[in-house]
Amino acid sequence: MNCLKIKYFFLFWIFIFLFYRLEAQVLPAGNPMLEENIRRNQLIDSTEQKASFLLRPISGNYDFLNRLFPEFLAKIPAVEIYALPLTAISQMNTKRPYGWGDYGMIPSRGGQQYISSGLFIKYKFIHLQLQPDLVLAQNKAYQGFSREFRDGIQAARFIFWNFGDYPERFGSAGYSKFSLGQSKLSAQFGAFEAGISTQNLWWGPGQWNALTFSNNAQGFPHLSLNTTKPAKTFLGNFEGQLIMGRIEESGLKPSQHADLNDRFFTDFTGDWKYVNGITVSYSPKWIPGLFLGFSRTFQQYRERMGDGFRDYFPILDPFQKESIFENGNTVEFDGAGRDQTATLFFRWVIPKHHTEFYAEFGRRDHAFNWRDAILTPEHARAYLMGFSKLIPLSKENQYVQLRGEMTHQQESINRYIRYRGLGGGISWHTHTRARGFANYGQPLGVGIGVGSNVQTLELAIVENFNKYGILLERLENQQDFYYRAFGQQKEHKPWVDLSLGFLFDHRWDNLLLSSKVQLIHGRNYQWQLDPSSTPDFPKGENLFSVHSQVSLVYLWGGGK
């Protein structure tokens, strides 16, 4: 069956070569090099401020995309056909999984390959984008969570696995997945569009992560009503999207040890989940370069849903939990298993200083009322913040690029007030009934791991598409689990990955290459102790590994 899928994919790919002289103005969310280049140009040119980067993918209704992808060179009467860029991503992890934000490539050890391309067809106001993708992975076994921990620690680990859908390994053999990828069928009217899509969405300003939707998991089928460019009003520009979608369980047990799964894991129901979401962003006409926005999403198992209007549009429900009380409690509401996430975000671009700042703040639980929201804003929260800065060099179009981002999902100290004991609650992208905010076992937003935090800093020399630099990254793994299981002792230390990366991006005419090699020092890997450790002189087990990735993008016909 997998061989048949691969055969059809490559037949489709060969068909695309027949249209190699046709192009289109399309930019999938998180596309290697292309998105970074366009975002960087906004820091240089004050006329490039239309795209907020709060709602992605970016459509073709922008001047900078018209320059990147020239006009099509062939036309059937009344029908325009374009070839979409060919994207190929190769990845290698030597000893353990590492990396995120890669269009449904799985966390795995060994080699992995992603390939995507397709056609864009336009007939009047009807647009069809057919852009499937293929993922192939060795998916080797690796040293995961140990079976040697006592039962109390195993139970704590399975709390997050049972309230999520994030397996250590995607099956017991090689992995292959063919999907519709970044495909879409839509009707466009001015600045607005309605359609059905499997594209990855990206809501919010993040460069490496997003609290709600990013390109970390395989895209999910959804109906969408959205803008394709900013809608101009006398107050400023607005962008927005309303979605109704379907996400799937992985069906996989989380641990690589079958006996632990048998003892502690709660099996999936086999049902799918309904997702309803909305995001709106606003750019005031009086403050150029400032973009403000919010998002709200709900997920719920279909078997728990009703068929009324509010069942399909829970985003219209009040934010305060007291408004849904019945007979003095929320037992009936909680039994329906709705999982809510709400975020606020901003991005401020200052071309005069070649700088941008951005931040996003989210909550995954209703506040009881507005007083509760104001007094304890840190409850059930996650946040990210970041910046980019360009420093001009003597050579024209050459800059020093400094950019960074931190993402924090770990529960706040508020957990000791809200919950009994010292264990805390659950984490971002988890829920007691709706389980993980995930599609086929991968988080839809933050891909660094449940309850994890990450800080990323990049320093590079950039010139147009070319980049040479280094990347420093610090990843605190599964912090909510750690403090639930180990927080009140001194022997087991937090598992922290420290990495140094080397970056090389280059453009040769139509071919774009983006590459990185990260050297990762895993301190206290999987919270395990070194064989020489003693209670009086504890020593964690460390693991050195290498993560490498090469992304190739081929522009049919080339850009400028």
How far is residue 346's CA from residue 512's CA, in Å, rounded to a whole number?
30
CA dihedral 473, 479, 482, 483 (to 10 degrees): 130
Cα–Cα distances in Å, from 65 out to 86, 107, 207?
16, 32, 19
Complete DSSP assignment for 15-77: HHHTTTT-----B-TT-TTHHHHHHHHHTT-TT--S--SSEESB-S-SHHHHHHSPPPS-EET
User: Is the CB of residue 384 less than 8 Å from the CB of residue 346?
Assistant: no
Helix or strand run (H / E) with residue 373 = helix 370-375
Please give the backbone phi and psi of residue 322, each rounded to the nearest 5 degrees, phi first: -65, -20
**Amino acid identity at 500:** L
Rounded to whole angstroms, how far apart are CA atoms 53 and 345? 11
Bridge partners of 401, per DSSP, are 390, 460
Task: List CB contacts of 273: < 8 A, sequence separation 6 or more.
Answer: 246, 247, 248, 249, 299, 300, 301, 302, 434
DSSP track, 519-544: EEEEETGGGPBPTT--SSS--B--EE
Give pLDDT, residue 298: 97
Q: What is the mean pLDDT of each run of 10 residues along the chain (560 residues)?
A: 51 42 61 89 80 87 55 66 90 98 95 95 92 97 96 96 98 97 95 96 98 98 96 94 98 97 96 98 95 98 94 92 71 82 97 97 87 85 98 96 98 78 83 95 98 99 97 98 90 97 96 98 97 92 98 78
Give first-to-last CA distance, the chain, whole Å: 42
431-432-434-436 Cα dihedral, nearest 10 degrees: 40
List domains and CATH numbers for the chain: 2-166+183-554 (2.40.160.130)
Give residue 105's pLDDT.
Answer: 97
Alpha carbon 59 to chain centroid, angstroms: 19
The reported pLDDT for the residue numbered 183 is: 96
